[in-house]
Structure 1
């Protein structure tokens, strides 16, 4: 279109043959931005993302590129990083391969946007932050749950003072992941092998760190119980293997201001709730239940007065006593929204608060959670600095 300046941004996307890398980051974020004609900046410039697909499986990469009419793909990460027009590196690989690849990208002078955990341990995550700071590259970590419609409504309630003094947060996350024998598992087998960076604490405590801190208050202590409820599973090739990582975690987190958060995370639970994740927040003035998309509230003035009587059948429809929080805005895909923020950060210098130090805080909470489970005690969560 005449008068519009287009700014191409070449993005090396590593791990796009995986479920998350393909569905959320390539298909529903980068390709969605392209389908909308690019990302328009305030000065009228249109940012046009040019993905370079990287992975280990040549056949899968070729098929994805063909399906979406993409020209650039390779199994050679070093080659992709060395391209003179490569500008951003994105990583959605398994955790055990992430730090090495991100370090290479930083050394090559690329800006980096990555999934979490950013590394296998806190020191490794901090080292990536130091390398990025020394190189002067821009970095970002995916914090997708902050952009879920249900949690954005919950944040709106907190900011508006709806709860009064917040007392507690109770989170339930999870679903049944099939063992892989009589039905195919919905998650890759490495998730259940500690030696490959698997485990639900490693996977989910990174999320709970930023959810709790961004919506409520900083996390000051953690006490966790980890379990491997299903000790034997079947992998993608039909071979039985021992599950060496935790598939369920039961955590208690103390937040600033005396708020107590309890979060259960499980790949071994059958869902009897409205959404796969729900948080109930109770405060002196009201309560809320927020999920992926919905958020319902009950104010102090409309709270009923239940009386415990186990000898009589329940006569109240407790769910019907809650009020739906309206959308009040249009919610786009959360991964896409954050990609747009990071592209703006790289191209025009707009703020992007979720850097590698934020990623390290998530890794820290996971590491402390695993240690708490091993030692059977509550641990303080110290502040992190570079």
Structure 2
């Protein structure tokens, strides 16, 4: 268990915390506020930000998509350069935050920003970034990872850098009140799979990481069970904090990590536009079944410690079934067909996309070849 761990994001958690932006961002910094489709102007978040930044020089950029495209983000980069912006403030969920990480890095890069995603350029400089989280799901508000889509070629790629780790993240659970049910359910599933990617691998004898991961997973099981009663402060508080802790680096420190579900899921989103969390729910159960020989011990541990299932010879299998029931209880699809995708045509296209992007040896053991990915997708059809 050898690792380096540092997370310097300052978290401001609780109701009314958006007002603290006034002191958290230096008054002499010119701020670019970036958001999505404009829902923040309906739920009061925009007005709170406007009030907090009343003594700052700031401008705004809107229209970042649910799967942020480089085509849109490059317009924000152009604006940031033209206006000589000093600070990026992302107001949104994981997509807006991921997009702003790209903006922060690409603004200070002279070449084509897509080079960051293709790894032709390693981020060397970035504008400082702050976040007002409006959708708990990805944990992007306190990690250095980002996923961006190129619409022209239907590619969805990722990059990571400590230089785009947000300096500050405001987490006000009140903002969840106005979210559509679909987005909240997606958030529960997204956080659940994030934890699984760091937990459902081989045993690393990391007691803290395993125990903390199991506590977070139990939280999400309870949140799913109490989903019909989600309109209360306690439920919102616990979803927002659990989703943050799922991917701030702690439970993944020093342990084997998988992420194959994400890599395959990204291709489904890129080609068919399915919500990110829903692609994860489609891929993961089939992946676990195909990889059950390697993951049996951790699946059994999860069954005992998260779902409170009895020990027997089929515990790993029944744990996967429990995961599927969790997703289905939130009306999340667990098959390609449930999302309206025809497997016969989708599977070859998805495998071709994986090959194109070099995703030929996935998983904690690098054992998920293209043939194995094909089997996973066929089972998920």
- Scaled to the shorter chain, the TM-score interval is 0.3 to 0.5
| TM-score using structure 1 length | 0.34
Higher percent of residues as strand: 1
| TM-score using structure 2 length | 0.34
